């Protein structure tokens, strides 16, 4: 990884079969580099390919053409099992609809990635407590997802994403189901994580509130990289 | 594996009522199937024991002309044994039985009977022959409860019997019923009149006539060569009863399949529904680094846990019921005599450990298979679709 380059896409295209032998080209020849510690957003209207691109970076899907290198590894050559191991070790995900596991408590939800990674019980307890402290949810440790507000649920999802201290966190529309206040709370937490832990964040969003926090904005239109610009965040992690 | 098991346990616990409904259905199936197996096993064991104790002993030597299914053969199916069989009788390792057809006339009606001559002092089979030692004006005769009910005879009644001697001449005399015995084997009771062997031999005019010899229990086949008698071991003697028993058991298998299908359908249904409803969760698990095969394993384990929980639940409420069936038994109605096999007034369930282990293994394996089949679908899901609750 040259100069902290952790995500590198070259000539990436992705198409989906849409029936009747036809195909929909979601991404067209994307070239992109993302470096360690970036706070980057993939911005664009619905159907522009943001989530598809995020899925490729997260080894959840394979490109039809081109190469996707994440943390120095060719993601598109992974088998299902290799991709799963890669995600387990290196990537944290935050989803639009939180995707918390409903029968688990907040603690168990956050503990889950560590359980899958085979971390010892003592270490798990310590790390989960730390992550919940980060997102300010220590008092909700034993609550179930159904007992949480939208903002709290998304903070649990953030804690779950950061608990294993991944190098990259991919967040797909993380504020789409949140009100303004909760959105700002979540984003401030992410900025703090980015600054203090050096975690790279890549967002897929069209929410202006998210864009206000970004340091780099990559605009996608119709599956093509339309604009790649550096930003000065209007809002910082500690700002109210 | 430990992680998957922990997760599966949490999911099963978290599913609440759905889990307990499945567990209840499965445990009902499990206990009923084990109970049924126990009843059939008990039935078989009681039948074999009763047949051996009262009729077959350790096996029989039959007169070569004897055919138990052809009463007409009884007229000629008797003869004198060779020295080896005589020696066996002298050593009290076998007892002779003489069978003849005849008729009795209770309340003025004629009824065919089989006259059975038995040595009153014999101890080979559990027939209370000792009562036949009584002396009186009429000959002493012994009948069973079924025979008493069918003819209206009771202890102390006198009835006229008619028979033919070895020359084919009819003769008749009176027999007093000295005892009405309770015997499990219908074939030794219904239509049977027991007389002292020596008396019956005298009546037919043949001092050494014997239709068959019953050997003592545990008799080791010694290949006695006799010109008139052939050896029949218990495998042969019990084959008819076993065939009847197997035909009865077929009904049990049908019930077995119905009960199993009921329980397994509940698990299958829950699995299908669970996979459909939890697609988003499946996608999340995959995103968090759980492999597809691990997710399939997780859902299979969850389904299988229903089976394991059902075993525990079944043990909790089922063991007292199963123990009751084994110790106190089940009272049988009189019409159960018509089943054609010797069971007795009460049926005691018997649980052979091997049968129990095999049954429970089959049940558990079926639950695992039924849990796995719908879970295979997960392996075809795309993580990106599953995360959005599609696919």
* pLDDT reported for residue A237: 55
pLDDT of residue A2: 44
Q: What is the mean pLDDT of residues A216-225?
A: 95
Say what the ipTM of the complex is: 0.90
Q: What is residue A240's predicted lDDT score, i.e. its pLDDT? A: 40
Whether B382 and chain A come into contact, CB under 8 Å, resolves to yes
Looking at the complex, report in whole angstroms how far the Cα of residue A83 sits from the nearest Cα belonging to chain B: 8
- Closest by CA position to B195, among listed B98, B264, B313, B105: B98
Which residues, including other chains, have CB under 8 Å from residue A96's CB and lie 6 or more apart?
A172, A173, A174, A176, A177
- Give buried/exposed letters for B17-36 (b at 16+ CB in 10 A, else e): ebbeebbbbbbbbbbbbbbb
Best of A82, A96, A99, A159 to mutate (most B CBs within 10 Å, chain B): A99
Cβ distance A95 to B284 less than 8 Å, yes or no, reads: yes
Q: Between A89, A103, A113, which is nearest B11 by CB?
A: A103
Instruction: Please compute the mean of the pLDDT values over residues A35-61 and round it to a whole number.
Output: 94
Asked if the Cβ–Cβ distance from A99 to B10 is below 8 Å, we say: no
Q: A90 at the B interface (CB within 8 A)?
A: no
The per-residue pLDDT for A202 is 96
Write out chain A residues lying below 8 Å of B289, CB-based. Answer: 84-89, 113, 116-117
Q: Is the pLDDT of residue A180 over 90?
A: no
CB-closest option in A87, A97, A102 to B289: A87
Nearest-Cα distance to chain A for B366, in Å, is: 27
Cβ atoms within 10 Å, residue B233: 14
Which residues on chain B are in Cβ contact (under 8 Å) with A55?
384
User: Cβ contacts (< 8 Å) between A108 and chain B: which residues?
Assistant: 10
- Whether the predicted pLDDT of A112 surpasses 50: yes
| C-alpha–C-alpha distance, residues B96 and B197, integer Å | 8
- What integer best gives the mean pLDDT of chain A? 90
Least CB-CB distance to A95: which of B6, B285, B387? Answer: B387
Chain B interface, mutation test: which of A16, A84, A117, most B Cβ atoms within 10 Å?
A: A84
What is the pLDDT, as a whole number, of residue A141? 94
Looking at chain B from residue 235 to 254, which residues have their Cβ under 8 Å from any Cβ of chain A? none
Shortest distance, CA B312 to any CA of chain A (angstroms): 23
Closest to B26 in 3D by CA, of B242, B247, B264: B264
How high is the pLDDT of residue B246?
Answer: 82
Task: Please report the pLDDT score of residue B334 as a whole number.
Answer: 65
Where exactly are the structural domains of chain A?
Answer: 2-98+166-230
Walk along chain B (391 residues) and give the pLDDT tens digit of each residue.
677 788 888 888 877 888 888 889 889 988 988 898 888 888 888 888 889 999 999 999 999 999 998 888 888 888 888 899 999 999 999 999 999 999 999 988 899 999 999 999 999 999 999 999 987 788 999 999 999 999 999 999 999 999 999 888 999 999 999 999 988 888 899 899 999 999 999 999 988 899 999 999 988 776 788 889 999 999 999 998 888 878 877 877 888 888 888 878 888 888 888 888 889 999 999 999 999 999 999 999 998 998 899 999 999 999 999 999 999 988 877 666 656 666 777 889 998 888 888 888 988 899 899 889 888 888 888 888 888 887 6
User: How many pairs of residues across A and B have Cβ atoms under 8 Å apart?
Assistant: 70
Distance CA A138, CA A105 (A): 12
Q: Which residue reads 């051996």 in tokens?
A: B52
Q: Which fold has domain A2-98+166-230?
A: Rossmann fold (3.40.50)
CB contact under 8 A, A102 and B14: yes
Q: CB atoms < 10 A from the CB of A115, how many? A: 19
Give the closest of B280, B281, B384 to A60, CB-based: B384
**Are A85 and B289 an interchain contact pair (Cβ–Cβ within 8 Å)?**
yes
Which residues does chain A have within 8 Å of residue B280's beta carbon, measured at their own beta carbons? 97, 99
- pLDDT, position B221: 74
- Interface check for B281 against chain A (CB to CB < 8 A): the answer is yes
Whether the CB of B297 is below 8 Å from some CB of chain A: the reply is: no
pLDDT at A52: 94
Contact B384 A112 (CB under 8 A): no
CA dihedral B215, B217, B220, B224 (to 10 degrees): 0
Which chain A residue's Cα is nearest to B288?
Answer: A88
Rounded CA-CA distance B132/B194 in Å is 9
pLDDT at A1: 46
Does A44 touch chain B if contact means CB atoms closer than 8 Å? no
Q: Which tens digit of pLDDT belongs to each residue from A7-20?
A: 999 999 999 988 88
């Amino acid at each position: 990884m040259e100069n902290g380059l952790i995500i590198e896409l070259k000539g990436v295209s992705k198409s989906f079969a849409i029936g009747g032998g036809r195909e929909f080209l979601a991404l067209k020849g994307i070239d992109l580099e993302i470096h360690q510690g970036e706070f980057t957003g993939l911005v664009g209207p619905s159907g522009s390919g943001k989530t598809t691109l995020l899925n490729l970076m997260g080894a959840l899907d394979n490109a039809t053409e081109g190469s996707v290198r994440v943390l120095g590894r060719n993601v598109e050559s992974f088998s299902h099992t290799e991709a799963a191991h890669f995600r387990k070790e290196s990537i944290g995900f935050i989803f639009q609809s939180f995707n918390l596991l409903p029968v688990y408590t907040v603690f168990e939800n956050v503990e889950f990635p560590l359980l899958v990674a085979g971390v010892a019980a003592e270490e798990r307890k310590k790390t989960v407590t730390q992550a919940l402290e980060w997102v300010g949810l220590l008092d909700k440790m034993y609550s179930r997802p159904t007992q949480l507000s939208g903002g709290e649920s998304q903070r649990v999802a953030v804690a779950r994403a950061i608990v294993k201290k991944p190098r990259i966190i991919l967040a797909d529309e993380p504020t789409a189901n949140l009100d303004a206040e909760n959105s700002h709370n979540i984003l401030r937490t992410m900025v703090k994580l980015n600054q203090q832990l050096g975690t790279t964040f890549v967002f897929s969003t069209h929410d202006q509130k998210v864009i206000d926090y970004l340091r780099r904005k990559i605009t996608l239109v119709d599956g093509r990289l339309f604009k790649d610009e550096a930003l000065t965040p209007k809002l910082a992690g500690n700002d109210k | 594996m430990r992680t998957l098991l922990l997760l599966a346990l949490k999911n099963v616990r978290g599913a609440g009522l759905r889990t307990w409904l499945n567990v209840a259905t499965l445990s009902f199936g499990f206990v009923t199937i084990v109970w049924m197996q126990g009843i059939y096993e008990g039935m078989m064991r009681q039948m074999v024991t009763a047949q051996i104790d009262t009729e077959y002993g350790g096996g029989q030597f039959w007169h070569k002309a004897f055919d138990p299914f052809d009463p007409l053969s009884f007229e000629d199916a008797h003869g004198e044994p060779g020295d080896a069989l005589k020696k066996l009788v002298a050593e009290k390792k076998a007892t002779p039985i003489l069978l003849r057809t005849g008729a009795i006339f209770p309340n003025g009606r004629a009824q065919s009977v089989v006259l059975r001559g038995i040595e009153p002092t014999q101890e080979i089979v559990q027939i209370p022959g000792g009562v036949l030692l009584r002396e009186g004006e009429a000959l002493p005769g012994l009948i069973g409860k079924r025979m008493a009910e069918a003819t209206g005879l009771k202890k102390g009644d006198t009835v006229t019997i008619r028979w033919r001697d070895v020359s084919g001449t009819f003769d008749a005399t009176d027999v007093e019923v000295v005892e009405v015995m309770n015997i499990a084997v219908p074939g030794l009771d219904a239509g049977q009149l027991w007389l002292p062997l020596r008396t019956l031999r005298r009546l037919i005019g043949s001092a050494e006539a014997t239709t068959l010899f019953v050997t003592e229990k545990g008799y080791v086949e010694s290949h006695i060569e006799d010109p008139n008698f052939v050896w029949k071991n218990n495998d042969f003697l019990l084959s008819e009863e076993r065939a009847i028993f197997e035909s009865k058991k077929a009904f049990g298998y049908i019930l077995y399949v119905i009960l199993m299908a009921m329980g397994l359908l509940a698990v299958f249904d829950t699995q299908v529904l669970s996979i459909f409803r939890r697609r988003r969760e499946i996608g999340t698990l995959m995103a968090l680094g759980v492999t597809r095969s691990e997710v399939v394993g997780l859902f299979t384990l969850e389904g299988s846990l229903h089976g394991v929980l059902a075993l525990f639940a079944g043990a909790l409420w089922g063991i007292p019921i199963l123990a009751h069936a084994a110790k106190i038994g089940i009272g049988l109605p009189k019409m159960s005599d018509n089943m054609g096999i010797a069971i007795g007034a009460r049926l005691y369930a018997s649980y052979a450990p091997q049968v129990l282990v095999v049954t429970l293994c089959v049940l558990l394996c079926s639950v695992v298979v039924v849990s796995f089949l719908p879970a295979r679908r997960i392996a075809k899901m795309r993580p990106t679709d599953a995360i959005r609750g599609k696919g």
